[in-house]
């Protein structure tokens, strides 16, 4: 397998604070890497620096080519980014919004070609968004909206998808729906990198977990090896019991042993 993304000494310093310590890492093509870690660990920072949304040092390579040598349009044909809270322009219909994903494939002054409309058609069909094509994006429910946003990323036809907290705003059913969709996209050959809050879901869907704490990788590997009681106690200050069920890692918070900051038992 080849590395779809490789980071070489990627680091982020803002105003003297190190948000991400120099990181070297490669993500194999066609796999799903999920970045986990407590609040402020640098998950989003890492994802944002990979796509170039945050100023960083070090080098990011995509299929062996450094992103710094690519123009923006070329980058957007390699990497599609789904931010945590995308801006939905007022009054845009689903078709208008998904068509924005074709931006890296056309000149800024040019009209879209039939090919662009065909890609939008295929993506919307693929994601079962046909019934919503003429609806305003802002009128959709959370789960539908997230699918539309992923559709925009797919319209870029980039082999690598980076999603910042793709399930955080969704209820359980819609979380599953989005993750099953991402798993399908991965099985079709795309490389997926996500940041995740829900550790059980992260462990269930990703091939590989990266545990960040204070801007550093503290664990990296198979979900079973990363999601340990010891790791979660050390880096999340969480008291949990880990159980395994049908190959999935289940994390159960232990309320009885949880203490408040005043030392009282809850």
**Applying CB under 8 A, does 157 fall inside the site for other proteins?**
no
Cα 181 from chain centre: 13
- Exactly one of 10, 41, 120, 140 binds other proteins (CB under 8 A); which one? 120
- Exactly one of 25, 67, 133, 248 binds other proteins (CB under 8 A); which one? 133
Q: How far is the CB of 2 from other proteins (least distance, A)?
A: 24
- Exactly one of 26, 29, 61, 103 binds other proteins (CB under 8 A); which one? 103
Nearer to other proteins, 130 or 221 (CB): 130
Cβ contact 193:50 at 8 Å = yes
Stretch of 1-9, 28-36, 115-123, 204-212 contacting other proteins, by CB under 8 A? 115-123
How many residues at the interface with other proteins, by CB under 8 A? 43
Q: How far is the CB of 256 from other proteins (least distance, A)?
A: 44
Nearer to other proteins, 53 or 248 (CB): 53
- Exactly one of 32, 47, 56, 101 binds other proteins (CB under 8 A); which one? 101
- Exactly one of 8, 21, 121, 197 binds other proteins (CB under 8 A); which one? 121
Where on the chain is the footprint of other proteins (CB under 8 A)?
51-53, 71-77, 79-81, 83, 86-93, 95-96, 99-101, 103-104, 106, 108-112, 117, 120-121, 124-125, 130, 133, 156
């Amino acid at each position: 397998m080849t590395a779809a993304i490789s980071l070489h000494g990627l680091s982020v310093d803002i105003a003297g604070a190190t948000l991400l310590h120099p990181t070297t890492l490669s993500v194999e093509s066609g796999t799903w890497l999920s970045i986990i870690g407590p609040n402020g660990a640098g998950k989003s920072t890492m994802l944002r620096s990979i796509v170039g949304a945050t100023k960083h040092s070090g080098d990011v390579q995509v299929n062996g080519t450094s992103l710094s040598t690519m123009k923006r349009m070329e980058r957007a044909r390699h990497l599609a980014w789904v931010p945590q809270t995308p801006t939905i322009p007022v009054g845009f219909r689903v078709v208008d919004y998904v068509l924005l994903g074709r931006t890296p494939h056309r000149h800024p002054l040019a009209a879209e070609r039939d090919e662009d409309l065909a890609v939008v058609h295929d993506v919307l069909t693929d994601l079962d968004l046909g019934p919503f094509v003429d609806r305003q994006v802002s009128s959709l429910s959370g789960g539908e909206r997230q699918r539309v946003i992923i559709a925009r990323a797919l319209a870029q036809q980039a082999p690598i998808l980076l999603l910042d907290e793709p399930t955080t705003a969704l209820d359980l059913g819609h979380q599953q729906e989005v993750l099953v969709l991402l798993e399908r996209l991965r099985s079709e050959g795309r490389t997926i990198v996500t940041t995740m809050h829900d550790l059980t879901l992260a462990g269930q869907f990703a091939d590989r977990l990266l545990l960040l704490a204070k801007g550093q990788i503290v664990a990296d590997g198979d979900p079973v090896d990363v999601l340990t009681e010891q790791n979660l106690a050390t880096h999340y200050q969480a008291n949990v019991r880990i159980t395994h069920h049908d190959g999935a890692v289940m994390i159960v918070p232990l309320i009885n042993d949880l203490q408040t900051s005043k030392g009282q038992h809850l």
